Amino acid sequence: MKKDYAKTDHMNAWLRHPVLGDPSFDTFERLGDTVHRSEPPYEWAVNGSLFCDFDGTWYYYAGLYGYGYLGDLPSRFRIYRSGDKGESWEDLGWGMETGFTFEGNDFPSDGCPDVFLVWDERMGKYLLTYDTSTNDMTWEKAHDPNGHTADSGAAIAWADSPAGPFTRVPQRFLSNRATFGTLGKWGRQYASCVVPRKNDYIAFALTDSHQHYAWALAAMTAPTADGPWSLPHIILSCDTPGYYPCPLEFFPVEVRGDKVAAHATSVAMNRNYQVIFEAELERAHDPAAWQLTQDGNVWHAHDHPDEFAGIWGQTIHGFVEDGRYVVMNASKDERDYGTLNLAVRPWDTPWSDGFTFTGHAGASVSPLKAAYGAFEANVEFSSKGTVDFAFNYEGVLGPDNSCADSVPNDTAVSGYMAVRVCGSSCSVVSVLPNEGPVPAEELPQQTAAGLRISAARTVQPNTRIVTHVHGVAGQDITALRILRDEKGALSVWANGSPVCEKLPLPYKTAPLALVAQPRGRLECTRFEVEGEARPYTWQWNAVDAILGAGQLMPEDAVLHSGDEAAPDRWHRMEGGYLGEGRIAAKWNVHGTDFTVRFQKASGFGKAGIWADGCFLGCADLAGEGGAEYRVTGLANGPHAIRVEPLCGRIGILGCTVCGPAAE
């Protein structure tokens, strides 16, 4: 059977993951010039929001920070205005004056970087939500309210025009000092949005968990904008029993008729993955009202110097006008300075044939939900940097660490063979874990006919690259034909010229995959594969489950089963993680069958296993060696596999996921 995995009919056949990446079929295109390029002392303009007024005037609220979110000056926002649909922008200056002190505070609160504007029909005014922090606030104080009076949170201001001037409400509606400790690990709220409803107001606030490296969305309600406001409660987080990709960061929301959409963006190093949650606006305070309506395929970084880092700082935000969805997007340039940009797509055409797949500061990897033995692939594309068209993919998927700015683990970008393209260069390579000697049977060499031969050999940290054949064409490679027969012999043509013929390689039935190396970019218009698509098997590492559950994990040496370890946190061990107490591990994966792999040891206890919140059973880990717990027969699709200690210490090694070939 022949399938073109670059067609929207098959767009869900690719793995999408916050750390690993997202082959996106979205239809966004850049609109106009960059609105704001950062310069010292505000090097990081990485947040913002858009608003379209009744007369069609656009307003861009640009959140400006010092480098690394730090600096001697308070983070603030500037207002840009466009009367010609984004063709040109007028800088209206700072949105608020400095020197304002909230009631009950000893210091002014000059910081106001993240803002969100709506029209309040009830008041007949524009309502601005903005972040606040007293001028004596530091990162250390933000997560510990003891021994100081510094405060942060969010407040409201009113205006008769989107351009201001804004009249501030004298008290915050959200104070982190007042709410500290009420949400458990979710200790700090910021990046807030207040939205009027029929009979009340609802506020949404991004929350972080400090060293747990997880983010959530909280909600508050009040009968009037002046309050009294309820205490915040979590409506979206990794603590949900169901499928919930991590790590994700929210801000701002979008109101679409009677619904509210909460976009979220990956906080991993590449930040090239987005999701959308939606709820009815009148029920948005209820966690049960929210649904994940789009998992990936929301956005792709454009080939532009001002989008060097992909999405950076926050997710997209915008409005629908004349059938077009207009959004702002924040990124960085090569200087690591923030940029604020615009993009547009048809509102009713979110996807089209052809996808974009990028690596930025780290590599990206996406295997197919299908395994192939013998196959013929015809691929048409444009690319920059280094991109691998992989087969025999047996990598172990997952991040390198349980933290923000994580990248794919070395095991995720190794364990495969590939046709590697870099400009006019084409190679057949084996990408292997960097351990032990290279097996002799993996070292066949063959001269490429039709391409100029080079002796170049690729080397990348923490992996071994075995180059079987390498050639250079006279121009950039834009088409590949890859043919593997039933015995494993590989033939490759680049731009119609032969690279190798009947190259003997190990034969396996395994997924095909894409790997974009750091700064690699692929724009693919055809990915046609002919052959028998068979059920796939993916391996996941243990750290993906630690990150997926938003767990506390100290940076310490590798522990062994008998070593002392602090409770209520995971500790690294050889090949996985061990812990006890109030901890959890959670893989958010796709498939029908799952096998969780455990470490056994003398004195270990029992682990409970849940699928999508339903308790399945337990694994007794006392003894020696390893143990497995298998789950079969689930409906094909996304699932959450959660593990917790029922008693004593447990050790997790990873998870194997199987599923039928994608339709």
Confirm whether 17 is domain-assigned.
Answer: no
Return the HEC string of 544-607.
HHHHHCCCCCCCCCCECCCCCCCCCEEEEECCEEEEECCCCEEEEEEECEEEEEEECECCECEE
**CATH at 47:** 2.115.10.20
Total count of domains within the chain:
3
Provide the strand spans (E) within 123-200: 125-133, 152-159, 167-168, 174-175, 188-196
Cis-peptide into 247, omega within 30 deg: yes
Same domain as 615, residue 480 = no
CB atoms within 10 A of CB 280: 13
Residue 16 lies in a domain: no
Structure confidence by residue, pLDDT tens digits, 102-121:
998 889 999 999 999 999 99
Q: What is the pLDDT of residue 471?
A: 84
What average pLDDT does the chain have? 93
C-alpha 484/C-alpha 489 separation (Å) is 6
Least confident residue range of 8-22, 67-81, 446-460, 552-566: 446-460
- Residue 441 inside a domain? The answer is yes
448 and 501 housed in the same domain: yes
- Mean pLDDT over 197-226 rounds to 95
Q: Which helix (H) or strand (E) holds 338?
A: strand 338-346
Q: Is the domain of 391 the same as that of 477?
A: yes
3-state secondary structure 201-236: EEEEEEEECHHHCCEEEEEEEECCCCCCCCCCEEEE
CB burial class (10 A; 0-12, 13-18, 19+) of residue 40? exposed
Q: Are residues 553 and 654 in the same domain?
A: yes
Residue 71 lies in a domain: yes
Mean per-residue pLDDT for 517-546? Answer: 97
Over residues 80-86, the mean pLDDT reads: 98
pLDDT, tens digit, 9 for 90 and up, residues 621-634: 999 999 999 999 99
Same domain, 494 and 410: yes
Q: pLDDT value at position 147?
A: 81
Structure token digits, residue 412? 């995720």
Residue among 240, 235, 248 nearest 275 (CA): 248
Q: Name the band, by pLDDT with cuts 50, 70 and 90, for residue 251.
A: very high
Residue 324 tokens read as 């077009």
- Region 442-457: what's the mean pLDDT? 36
Structure tokens at 118: 């709506």
Q: Are 113 and 191 in contact (CB under 8 A)?
A: no
| Same domain as 555, residue 467 | no
Contact between 287 and 272 under an 8 Å Cβ cutoff? The reply is no
Structure tokens at 153: 């949170």
**Could you tell me the two tokens for 29?**
């295109």
Are residues 70 and 148 part of one domain?
A: yes
Q: 473 falls in which pLDDT band (50, 70, 90)? A: confident
pLDDT over threshold 50, residue 33: yes
> What's the rounded Cα separation, in Å, for the pair 20 and 512?
15
Q: Using the predicted structure, report yes or no on whether residue 480 has a pLDDT greater than 90.
A: yes
Task: Please tell me whether residues 524 and 543 are part of one structural domain.
Answer: no
Of the three residues 319, 347, 375, the one that is the final residue of a domain is 347
Dump pLDDT digits (tens) for 333-351: 999 999 999 999 999 999 9
Q: How many CB atoms lie within 10 A of CB 634?
A: 15
Which of 523 and 663 is assigned the larger pLDDT? 523
Domain end: 534, 555, 589, which one? 534
Q: Give the integer Cα–Cα distance in Å for 514 and 365.
A: 6
> Which positions ≥6 away from 484 have C-beta within 8 Å?
373, 374, 375, 376, 391, 490, 491, 505, 507
pTM above 0.85, yes or no: yes
In a domain, 19, yes or no: no
Residue 47 pLDDT: 94
| Distance between CA atoms of residues 173 and 201, nearest Å | 12
Domain ends where: 505, 534, 563? 534
Give the C-alpha distances (Å, rounded to integers) separating 296 from 17, 428, 523: 8, 30, 16
Structure token pair of residue 290? 């929210």
pLDDT score of 444 = 39
Q: Determine what percent of the chain is predicted with pLDDT higher than 70.
A: 95
- Residue 18 falls inside a structural domain: no
Among 160-169, 201-210, 428-437, whose mean pLDDT is lowest? 428-437
| Burial of 200 (C-beta count, 10 Å sphere; 0-12/13-18/19+) | middle
Q: What value does the mean pLDDT take over residues 255-276?
A: 95
How far apart, in whole angstroms, are the C-alpha atoms of residue 234 and residue 102? 26
Q: Whose CA is closest to 346, among 26, 9, 48?
A: 26
131 and 146 belong to one structural domain: yes
The answer to whether the beta carbons of residues 132 and 172 sit under 8 Å apart is yes
Query: For the residues 403-430, what does the mean pLDDT come to?
Result: 95
Residue 519, number of CB atoms within 10 A of its CB = 15
Query: Are residues 548 and 530 located together in one domain of the fold?
Result: no
Report if residue 445 sits inside a domain: yes
Residue 516 and residue 562 in one domain = no
Please indicate, yes or no, whether residues 317 and 211 belong to a single structural domain of this protein: yes
Domain-embedded: residue 21: no
Q: Which two tokens stand for residue 579?
A: 């812990």
Domain that holds residue 467: 2-11+359-534
pLDDT for the residue numbered 461: 53
Which residues share a beta bridge with 455? none
